[in-house]
Structure 1
Amino acid sequence: MKAQTAGAAERGNDVTRPRILVVGAGFAGVECVRRLERKLSPDEADVTLVTPFSYQLYLPLLPQVASGVLTPQSIALSLRRSARYRTRIIPGGAIGVDLKAKVCVVRTITDRIVNEPYDYLVLAPGSVTRTFDIPGLTDNAFGMKTLAEAAYIRDHVISQLDLADASQDPAERASRLQFVVVGGGYAGTETAACLQKLTHSAVRRYPRLDPKLIKWHLIDIAPKLMPELGDKLGRSAQEVLRRRGIEVSLGVSIAKAGPEEVTFTDGRVVPTHTLIWTAGVVASPLIATLDAETVRGRLAVTPEMTLPGSDGVFALGDSAAVPDLAKGEEGAVCPPTAQHAMRQGKAVADNVIATLRGAPLQPYEHKDLGLVVDLGGRDAVSKPLGVELRGLPAQVAARGYHWWALRTGVAKVRVATNWTLNALAGDDFVRTGFQARRPAKLKDFEYTDTYLTPEQVRAHVEGSRPAAG
């Protein structure tokens, strides 16, 4: 692999302008970049964004892509559509940061290693799927964190119906029609609910298949489903799932996972070819390369979202433990949700601009607006502003919030059109070709083994500097 150090010769006259480097194109990173583009004049600073893909993924609607309600393009919001677009995008991922040298080490999508110097650094690398040392997990489970995973899971689930329909073996047919989702949070609950809707509708097109053979399992080690919703709404969601035939098992996890069966910690063995793992997230491994103080794996930052002891470094989103001033509790930090990430992005951009202009920084404070959970069809549970809703009113609140939160008018039109078409015409249950002969699992989508250690970062940066003389 080649190493490249950006220099004055590459930038020409631009070297005199401050360099703002933003890592991550999630809700936090994109909102930050957009605000910088709006509020900074082109000659005030250069803005660079490090991201593998030149789009912002609207993550809360990912289960609806997996179930075919929405097309992948409808929730992938292009970063190049902005009328004020001028940000330089480096297609890749940050794999290390040398805070003393003020250099971010980036691995591009072609596996080239480049050094990107900065004057101001905004860290919003997001999170990765949290896994445990469970035998066979990463080799046999699917994740639900990226657009590619959602599209792949849809292909996989439909292929199980196709293969079961073609099989003459009753045991194989039964195993292909059992599906296991691990994780009773929002992602897992919505994934199980939406995909169960998909198989329930699709099986009508398979006259050789007995609908009773299709079984969905949702399991979680926690004693309650989505505890953030409260006991009543959590029970309501659980009742909706059970009414649909989804078996919900709480206080249970996975003991081991194989290609054709999954063993639960309560001893049950479920023959299945589909294990979807959504049991939470952890901060990006990039955070460990900084050798900085953390709170439960997230960077410890000030209320202004600055990194203590590091000049010009800001951190926000899923990878930062931003103090939750609105709660007024000692040690409370903001949850890793989209509504906080979006607002933190704007607040960090304002603080970066304030630093550039010598103005005082402002602390971040936001009162949580509530939670919405879309269970597909007319089923939903929501708690906007503390008001508990169920059924159709909750569905209106959930989809209304998501539609409003989409950043572009084009995305809003696409999503609204998809919802309308799906409600009127249903699904065609078409596989798009992601399901290849060699299956792709959790370990194939999240490259968590590509990050450097703090020592490797320093050695790389030192080794790539031009020799004096």
Structure 2
Amino acid sequence: MNPKRILVVGAGHVGLYAALRLSKKLSSLEAEVIVVDPQPHMTYQPFLPEASAGNISPRHSVVPLRRELRRCTVVAGAVTRLEHDRKVATVQPIAGPTREIAYDHVIVAPGSVSRTLPIPGLHENGIGFKTIGEAIYLRNHVLARLDLAAATSDPDVRRRELTFVFVGGGYAGIEALAEMEDMARDALRYYPELKPEDMRWVLVEATQRVLPEVDRDMGAYTVQQLLKRNMDIRLDTRLESCVDGVVKLSDGDSFPAGTIVWTAGVKPSPLLDKTDLPRGERGHITCIPTLQVVDGDKVVEGAWSAGDCAAVPDLTKPPGAYCSPSAQHAVRQAARMADNIANVIRGREPVEYKHKHAGSVASLGLHKGVGQVYGIKVKGLPAWVMHRTYHMSRIPSFNRKVRVVVDWTLAFFLRREAVALGQLHEPRVEFLEASAPVPSRQG
């Protein structure tokens, strides 16, 4: 028989895990798996705060695609159009002309992007926190603020550079805020010109609570812990403007800030606008519990989706509920989807995805955490240990597990590196200044 071609669009949690499982379950005579993604790696996003804070090497929080997907074909490029009626995807490689890839089954898993609002100044001054590049940039940016503040004699400049604003009180925002404050406080030992009280860390959250994934008392505990570290927590408050770095809040307060980090939610990838697949009211691809795409009551043959970009019914909750956009669901959905595709190729029936969310654990900096797992509430050091243990077990490949554990082990004996490598973001500046443009000789 001719092998079926399975196209995987996106190599995040869903794409990588699904492709890896398919390549192991199906022989080359049964299927060919092609993975398309602009990046050569998968980013394990739960480790972004630790990578940004210097607890682990940024390289160890990403998984190289070609190293892990050796039995798959990896195409470095972006899908610019997906025509499922024809079962053809148009791909723009990172170099060269576009190409069309025909397929029998497609896994649409481009994930999500930051959900921003039309706030004046956000585009010019905001920093996202969803990619490894943004995590590295934020680390360098925060450490550079300490250098600027230590070098200046102007109190207004120092106050502005040492004001750090994080917008969004979900897990991403809380962990990023807590880890960066922990890193900056640790770095101050090398800055005799600065004191911890010189820094101002502000959390802006539009609702009346943080960490909506856990019970209110655990969210309240998190706020209390942050307040003990002299952080400024603004609940039921919105960012209204940040033009020229001047933060204006809905509670009437206004102040300049050197750092504005946006972590206020996500939305499905814009790539979905370039497909002909059915979508729901919020832009997600509509799926049934088997992870098959549906148009109304009709299954779209050969189309599958999961993760942040898909609306997958949660069978553990009342009708109408959908699985949350978490790595926990994404990894399990990927496994179930891969098994279902293998079942369909082998003439069997797909099985419904059903998983009761186990809970969540968040890091609040070194040796500090909060979480709620299977109804059990944990705080402090036990939660921090649980957070690290769980995510170390979930990151793909034995190679990455070992490297992360080595990073953590070394951190017990060696001080955290607190140096900004800002030149990474503009590496050619000095070379351009040292060299002069030479007119080309024609004829």
- What is the TM-score when the length of structure 1 is the normalising length? 0.87
1:202-230 deviations in Å (ceiling 9; x for gaps): 11211112332111001110110112211
Q: Tell whether the 8 Å contact from 2:285 to 2:310 is kept in structure 1 after alignment.
A: yes
Q: Secondary structure at the match of 1:81?
A: helix
Paired residues for 1:12-161 under 5 Å:
16-82=2-68, 85-110=70-95, 112-161=97-146
Query: 1: CA distance between counterparts of 2:306 and 2:363?
Result: 27
- One of 182, 198, 215 as aligned partner of 1:230: 215
| AA aligned opposite 1:36 | L
Shift of residue 428, structure 1, vs aligned partner: 2.3
Report the Cα offset of residue 124 of structure 1: 0.9
Q: Shift of the alpha carbon at 1:403?
A: 1.1
The AA in structure 1 aligned to 2:287 is V
Query: Contact 1:155/1:434 (CA < 8 Å) preserved in 2?
Result: no
Instruction: Tell me the equivalent position of 1:425.
Output: 414
AA of the residue aligned to 1:293: R
Code of the aligned partner of 1:414:
R
| 2-structure distance, mates of 1:187, 1:50 | 26
Residue 195 of structure 1 corresponds to: 180
Q: Percent identity?
A: 38
Report if aligned partners of 1:197, 1:376 keep a CA contact under 8 Å in 2: yes
Contact 2:126 2:260 in 1 (8 A): yes
1:317 equivalent to 2:330? Answer no
Q: Structure 1: which amino acid aligns with 2:314?
A: D
Structure 2, unpaired ranges of 5+: 428-443
| Partner SS, residue 241 of structure 2 | strand
**Aligned-pair CA distance for 1:134:** 0.9
Partner of 2:345: 356
> Does the 8 Å contact 2:170/2:211 carry over to 1?
yes
Query: 1:449 is matched with which residue?
Result: none
> C-alpha separation between the residues in 2 aligned to 1:111 and 1:209?
51
For 2:375 and 2:262, locate their aligned partners in 1 and report how far apart those are by CA, in whole Å.
Answer: 30
Query: What is the CA distance between 1:137 and its match in structure 2?
Result: 1.0
Is the alpha carbon distance of 1:437 and 1:355 closer, same or farther for their aligned partners in structure 2, counting shifts above 3 Å?
Answer: closer
- The one-letter code sitting in structure 2 at the alignment partner of 1:376 is G
- 2:269 and 2:245 map into 1 onto residues whose CA distance is 31
SS in 1 for 2:141: helix
Give a deviation string over 1:343-389, Cα, whole Å, max 9, x none.
11111111111121111111111111111001111210011211000
What's the secondary structure of 1:311's corresponding residue?
Answer: strand
In 1, Cα distance between the equivalents of 2:383 and 2:332?
24
Q: Is residue 393 of structure 1 aligned with residue 379 of structure 2?
A: no
**Could you tell me how far 1:289 is from its partner in structure 2?**
2.5
Instruction: Flag the 1:111–1:200 CA change in 2: closer, same or farther, 3 A.
Output: farther
> Which of residues 183, 191, 203 in structure 2 aligns to 1:218?
203
Counterpart amino acid of residue 206 in structure 1: Y
SS of residue matched to 1:259: helix
RMSD between aligned alpha carbons?
A: 1.7
Contact 1:32 / 1:348 at 8 angstroms: preserved in 2? yes
Q: C-alpha displacement at 1:20, in angstroms? A: 0.6
Indicate if the aligned counterparts of 1:156 and 1:435 stay in contact, CA closer than 8 A. Answer: no
The CA deviation at 1:106 is 2.3
- Residue-by-residue CA offset, 1:46-93 (whole Å, 9 max, x unaligned): 1100112222211011011111111111111122334x7221111122
Checking the alignment, whether the CA contact within 8 Å between 1:301 and 1:320 is kept in structure 2 is yes
Q: Deviation of residue 434 (structure 1)?
A: 4.8
Which is worse superposed, 288-297 or 176-185?
Answer: 288-297
Counterpart of 2:136, as a letter, is: A
Asked if the contact 1:49–1:89 (Cα under 8 Å) also holds between the matched residues in 2, the reply is yes
Quote how far apart the aligned CAs of 1:102 are.
1.2
Greater Cα shift, 108-117 or 86-95:
108-117
Larger mean Cα displacement after TM superposition, 161-170 or 425-434: 425-434
Q: Tell me the residue number matched to 1:326.
A: 316
Matched, 1:178 2:168: no
Query: How many angstroms apart in 1 are the aligned matches of 2:44 and 2:199?
Result: 30
Distance 1:66 1:417, change over 3 A: same
Give 1:95 deviation, angstroms.
2.8
The 5 A counterparts of 1:380-419 are 380-419=369-408
Q: Determine helix, strand or coil for the equivalent of 1:100.
A: coil
Distance 1:190 1:434, change over 3 A: farther
CA distance in 2, matches of 1:295, 1:332: 14
Equivalent AA in structure 2 for residue 362 of structure 1 = V
User: Once the 2 structures are TM-superposed, how far is the Cα of residue 128 of structure 1 from its aligned partner?
Assistant: 0.3
Query: What's the CA shift string for 1:172-213, capped at 9, x where partnerless?
Result: 111000000000000000000000001111112111123321
Task: Return the offset for 1:423.
Answer: 3.0
Does the CA-based 8 Å contact 2:65-2:74 persist in structure 1? no
| In structure 2, C-alpha distance between the alignment counterparts of 1:436 and 1:38, rounded to whole Å | 39
Give the equivalent residue in structure 2 for 1:465: none
Instruction: Tell me, in whole angstroms, the C-alpha distance in 2 between the residues paired with 1:95 and 1:230.
Output: 41
Asked whether the 8 Å contact 1:96–1:290 carries over to 2, the reply is yes
Contact 1:159 1:435 in 2 (8 A): no
- Hey, what's the Cα distance between the residues in 2 that align with 1:112 and 1:317? 30
Deviation of 1:295 after TM superposition, in Å, equals 4.3
Q: Gaps spanning 5+ residues in structure 1: where?
A: 1-13, 439-469
Q: 217-226 vs 267-276, which deviates more?
A: 267-276
2:264 to 250, 275, 279: 279
**C-alpha spacing 1:378/1:306, structure 2 compared with 1 (3 Å):** same
Whether the aligned pair in 2 keeps the contact of 1:129 and 1:143 (CA below 8 Å) is: yes
Shift of 1:430: 1.6
